[in-house]
Amino acid sequence: MKRLRLYLYFLCLVLAVSCAEEKDFPKAKQYPLLKTTSVVADSVSVIAKGEIVLQGKKEITEYGFIYETLTTKPKVSFKKVLDLPAKSGPFMAEIKENILKGVDYEIYAYAIVDKYKVDGDKFTFKGGSTLVPVITDFEPKQGFDGTLITITGENFIPVKDFIKAKIGNANATVIDVSSNKIIIKAPDVSYVGSFPITLTIYNNQVTTSQKYTILGPTISGVSESTVRPGEELTLYGEHLDQPTIPGQEVVVLLDRYKATVKSRTDKEIVITVPSVPEYLYFNPLSITVTGWNKPIALTNVVTVEPPNNTSGFRLASFAPSNLGLLYARMPNFVSEDRAHLFTLDHFVNYNIELNLWSRSSSFTGEGRSNGIVALVGREAYVIGGRTTSKSFNEVWAYHYPTDTWSKKSSLPFTVYGATSFVLDNMIYFFGGNNSTNNNTLWRYDPQTGNVVALNNFPAVTTETGSTFTIDNKVYVVTSGSIYQYNPQQDTWTRTGNVPLNSFAFTVENQGYIVSANTKILSRYDVAASNWVDISTYPSCVANSAFTGFGYKNRLYLASFACSANLYYQELQ
């Protein structure tokens, strides 16, 4: 009975309030009455509907819908503001912005009156939008560490916590975001280069089509490839005047020995070459520059000679180890601006002007050493040769302009280690090891494949003979003697002596020898029939043998079995 009387009391109270006049409650109709009527989400947008049930007497200065994520960390809310004026009755909005697929939201209608916010009923929905972020551009396209980069596009979520940015694989800092613009700060990294920018916006990832270039100090080359301690060397590059790491200075090391930095500008660093141990002389050394957060290293770019070096030889190149330069003496030929060194079944090609190494194609036969290599026209002939268990009579022709091989008719005998030269497009050879007669001079005709026996060489033959040519006259250096050959009369004439284990070369119609015993380079004086010493080879000699060739006014020498260094001597 008490409970029934309590219910009747509250019913009377409600009726009394509802029947009261406005003058009894002066603020009752000052503010609007809102309600949220429905919300529908699909893969494109969210359609939200609401209604202004009661306009109220106070002016509505803003209205629309507020929607908030429920299942993200952190939770974030967004507004969809509708155009004023607000009028009594239903209203709706299509919401496409900031809808994340698979995320639960809460949404409700709202209105702002004075400083107050009036809310409608709350609904929930699950985001289903398939709209993805799109990057249209970014600026600047390059910069140093710490540069602010503005990325423009559409469908961005303007919540910093939802956005991750990378330049390449390095994380960038997100500074500011909006629906169509994101500002990031380039990270501090230890390298330079060009990399795409990648944004991860909640679960969507988008990458720029263009690359952003990370700038920093770089070195592209040096003023000299061969220097001596105490000399100046200039390093060329870009952005070399950039500030260093606080508390550090720019340090330049040759190998691990510190150079003195004399000056530094945007494009150059001038150093004084440090002293290095003797075992590093004539070896290509690397240069390392530190002091920035981007260390610089140039590999095998400079050679240090002894302070008192008067040999005249300079380092030309450092041959790569993967090309098959296995032997101290490698038969070769020169075409245009390239030297071609034969090894096993292919040529190692050295571009003299560009200082570039490469390898040719291989022939299909067995690999071999100690063969004859002779250039006739645009083909180099590889004749004979041997392995550890057999010798060959095969003839292969290499057409260097097309990098192709062809097999020719074989010789009637095997041969390797022979001394050879070319006269009037004919290949002459003798000595070495021959399955017929080691002393016979043979003339091979590349056109017909015929080989003809000529007058015997008059002395003991070896596998170390070599030749030079002056005024179309051939001189043979072997066993400590020089012999001149007369092709018209097929005769030999001894003209002088040479040190043992000497190797001959022709450069610009002059004859030169270098002795494996003394390492002295000498030029042949035809009129006096003697040798004029020029300089001393500066490096090791393996198996008492050299590889060498002439190009313009330079003689290039190496002994590859003990060193990958290729040297040159300027000649008069």
Phi, psi torsion values for 425, nearest 5 degrees: 65, 20
Distance CA(440)–CA(155), nearest Å, equals: 88
In terms of residue numbers, what domain contains 99?
18-126
CATH number at residue 274: 2.60.40.10
Q: Are residues 389 and 423 in the same domain?
A: yes
**Taking the model in full, what pTM does it have?**
0.55
Which of 83, 105, 126 finishes a domain? 126
Secondary-structure percent of the chain, ordered helix, strand, coil, rounded to 5:
5, 55, 45
pLDDT of residue 11: 39
CA nearest neighbour of 308 among 228, 392, 422: 228
Chain position carrying tokens 């030169």: 512
Q: Are residues 289 and 255 in the same domain?
A: yes
CATH number at residue 379: 2.120.10.80
Q: CA–CA distance from 135 to each of 24, 129, 131, 205, 503 (Å)?
A: 60, 18, 13, 11, 68
Flag whether 10 is in a domain: no
Distance CA(297)–CA(301), nearest Å, equals: 10
Distance CA(506)–CA(451), nearest Å, equals: 26
Q: Are residues 318 and 405 in the same domain?
A: no
SS3 call for 571: coil
Flag whether 9 is in a domain: no
Q: Are residues 388 and 266 in the same domain?
A: no
Flag whether 493 is in a domain: no
CB 15 within 8 A of CB 7: no
Beta-ladder partners of 176 = 183
CB 109 within 8 A of CB 34: yes
Q: CA–CA distance from 340 to each of 12, 172, 327, 335, 527 (Å)?
A: 114, 50, 14, 8, 33
Q: Are residues 338 and 449 in the same domain?
A: yes
Q: Are residues 175 and 245 in the same domain?
A: no
pLDDT of residue 310: 63
Phi, psi torsion values for 342, nearest 5 degrees: -85, 135
Flag whether 54 is in a domain: yes
Which of 103, 126, 149 finishes a domain? 126
Flag whether 3 is in a domain: no
The 8 Å CB, 24+ separation contacts for 556-559 are: 556/316, 556/339, 556/352, 557/313, 557/514, 557/521, 558/319, 559/328
CB 420 within 8 A of CB 408: no
Half-sphere exposure of 509 toward its Cβ, with a 13 Å CA cutoff? 2
Flag whether 188 is in a domain: yes
Flag whether 374 is in a domain: yes
Q: Are residues 268 and 281 in the same domain?
A: yes
Classify residue 542 by its DSSP letter: B
pLDDT mean by block of 10 residues, the chain; 572 residues? 37 40 54 95 94 93 96 92 95 93 95 93 91 94 96 94 96 96 96 96 93 95 92 95 93 96 96 89 90 92 80 83 84 94 94 93 93 96 95 97 96 95 96 87 96 92 87 92 94 91 94 92 90 89 89 93 89 82
Distance CA(420)–CA(349), nearest Å, equals: 21
CB 253 within 8 A of CB 287: yes
Strands 193-201 and 163-167: antiparallel
Classify residue 24 by its DSSP letter: G
CB 435 within 8 A of CB 413: yes
Q: Are residues 317 and 374 in the same domain?
A: no
Q: CA–CA distance from 45 to each of 75, 83, 150, 156 (Å)?
A: 20, 19, 28, 15
92 burial (CB, 10 Å; 0-12 / 13-18 / 19+) is: middle
**Domains in the chain, number:** 5
Check the CA dihedral 538-539-545-546 and report its sign. negative
Distance CA(519)–CA(536), nearest Å, equals: 5
Q: Are residues 194 and 209 in the same domain?
A: yes
CA nearest neighbour of 185 among 170, 197, 175, 195: 175
CB 482 within 8 A of CB 473: no
Strands 296-304 and 226-227: parallel
Distance CA(314)–CA(312), nearest Å, equals: 6
Quote the distance between the C-alpha of residue 231 and its chain's center.
Answer: 31
Q: Are residues 441 and 335 in the same domain?
A: yes
Flag whether 552 is in a domain: yes
CB 505 within 8 A of CB 555: yes
pLDDT of residue 4: 35
Distance CA(139)–CA(213), nearest Å, equals: 11
Calculate the CA dihedral of residues 311, 312, 316, 322 and round it to 10 degrees: -20
Q: Are residues 80 and 92 in the same domain?
A: yes
- Beta-carbon contacts of residue 185 (< 8 Å; ≥ 6 apart): 146, 147, 148, 149, 172, 173, 175
- Beta-carbon contacts of residue 424 (< 8 Å; ≥ 6 apart): 487
Beta-ladder partners of 260 = 272
Residue count of the chain, please give it.
572
Q: Are residues 552 and 472 in the same domain?
A: yes
Residue type, 530: N
Which of 197, 214, 231 finishes a domain? 214
Distance CA(120)–CA(65), nearest Å, equals: 9
